[in-house]
Structure 1
Amino acid sequence: MEPTKADDNGDVLHEFFPFFKVYKDGRVERLMPMEKLKVPPSEDAEVRSRDATISSEPAVLARVFVPRGLGPAERLPVLIYIHGGGFSIGSAFHRGYHEYVSSLAAEARVVAVSVEYRLAPENPIPACYDDAWAATQWALGHAGGNGPDQWLNEHGDFGRVYVAGDSAGANISHSVAVRIGRTGLAAGVRIAGMAMVHPYFGGTDDDKMWLYMCPENGGRDDPRLKPPPEDLAGVGCEKVLVFVAQRDHLRGRGLWYCEELKRSGWGGSVEVVEHEGESHVFHLLKPHCDKALDLKGKLVAFLKGT
Structure 2
Amino acid sequence: MYFFKNLFCFLDHHQSYIDHNMTSNVFPSRYMSSSEEIPLQIHGWLRIHKNGRCERLVGNDIIPPGMDPLTGVQSKDIIISPNVSIRLYIPKSANKNRKLPTLIYYHGGGFVTECAGSSTYHPTLNLISSETNMVAISVNYRLAPEHLIPIAYEDAWEAMKWVAIHLKGNGHESWLNDYADLHNVYLCGDSVGANIAHNMAIRVGLELDPCKVVKLEGLILLHPFFGGKEPIGSEFNKHQQNKAFVDHLWMLANPVGVDGLDDPLFNPSRNPNISSLGCSKILVCVGEKDGLRDRGLNYKKIVEKSGWKGVVKVFESKGAGHVFFLHNRSCKNASILRKNICSFVNVIRSKS
Normalised-by-shorter TM-score class: over 0.9
- Encode CA deviations 1:74-110: one digit per residue, 9 max, x unaligned: 2101110111111111110012311111111112111
- Encode CA deviations 1:126-152: one digit per residue, 9 max, x unaligned: 221111111111112210112111010
Aligned to 1:241: 283
Is the counterpart of residue 29 in structure 1 residue 40 in structure 2?
A: no
Output the CA distance in 2 between the equivalents of 1:279 and 1:125: 26
- Encode CA deviations 1:159-218: one digit per residue, 9 max, x unaligned: 210000000100010111111111143289421100011001014221122112213312
Is the counterpart of residue 72 in structure 1 residue 112 in structure 2?
A: no
- For 1:6, which of 35, 44, 50 is the aligned residue? 35
Output the CA distance in 2 between the equivalents of 1:188 and 1:139: 8
Q: Is the 8 A contact 1:166 1:198 kept in 2?
A: yes
Aligned to 2:267: 226
- For 2:340, which of 288, 298, 303 is the aligned residue? 298
Q: Is the 8 A contact 1:19 1:86 kept in 2?
A: no
- Encode CA deviations 1:42-97: one digit per residue, 9 max, x unaligned: 123521111111111xx211000112343323210111011111111111001231
TM-score by length of 2: 0.81
Q: Is the 8 A contact 1:166 1:197 kept in 2?
A: yes
Q: Mark the CA change 1:188 to 1:20 in structure 2 (over 3 Å): closer, same or farther.
A: closer
Aligned to 1:199: 224
The residue identity in structure 1 corresponding to 2:112 is: S
Q: Mark the CA change 1:22 to 1:264 in structure 2 (over 3 Å): closer, same or farther.
A: same
Is the counterpart of residue 212 in structure 1 residue 237 in structure 2?
A: no
Q: Is the 8 A contact 2:34 2:41 kept in 1?
A: yes
Q: Trace 1:81-230 onto structure 2 (pairs within 5 A).
A: 81-184=105-208, 185-186=210-211, 189-203=214-228, 204-205=243-244, 206-217=246-257, 218-227=259-268, 228=270, 230=272
- % same residue: 38
The residue identity in structure 2 corresponding to 1:51 is: D
Q: Is the 8 A contact 2:59 2:119 kept in 1?
A: no
Aligned to 1:15: 41
The residue identity in structure 2 corresponding to 1:6 is: S
Q: Is the 8 A contact 1:229 1:261 kept in 2?
A: no
The residue identity in structure 1 corresponding to 2:166 is: H
* Structure 2, unaligned runs of 5 or more: 1-27, 229-242
The residue identity in structure 2 corresponding to 1:27 is: R
Runs of 4 or more above 4 Å deviation: 1-4
Q: Mark the CA change 1:189 to 1:29 in structure 2 (over 3 Å): closer, same or farther.
A: closer
Output the CA distance in 2 between the equivalents of 1:188 and 1:250: 30
* Structure 1, unaligned runs of 5 or more: none
The residue identity in structure 1 corresponding to 2:107 is: H
Q: Name the SS for the 1:90 alignment partner.
A: coil
Deviates more, 1:110-119 or 1:37-46: 37-46
Q: CA RMSD in A?
A: 1.8
Output the CA distance in 1 between the equivalents of 2:309 and 2:252: 35
Aligned to 1:250: 292
Output the CA distance in 1 between the equivalents of 2:91 and 2:59: 27
- Encode CA deviations 1:247-302: one digit per residue, 9 max, x unaligned: 10000101111110000000010000011211001111111111111001111222
The residue identity in structure 2 corresponding to 1:197 is: L
Deviates more, 1:250-259 or 1:125-134: 125-134
Q: Name the SS for the 1:71 alignment partner.
A: coil
Aligned to 2:319: 277
Output the CA distance in 1 between the equivalents of 2:213 and 2:151: 29
Output the CA distance in 2 between the equivalents of 1:279 and 1:187: 38
Aligned to 2:13: none
Q: Name the SS for the 2:344 alignment partner.
A: helix
Q: Is the 8 A contact 1:229 1:264 kept in 2?
A: no
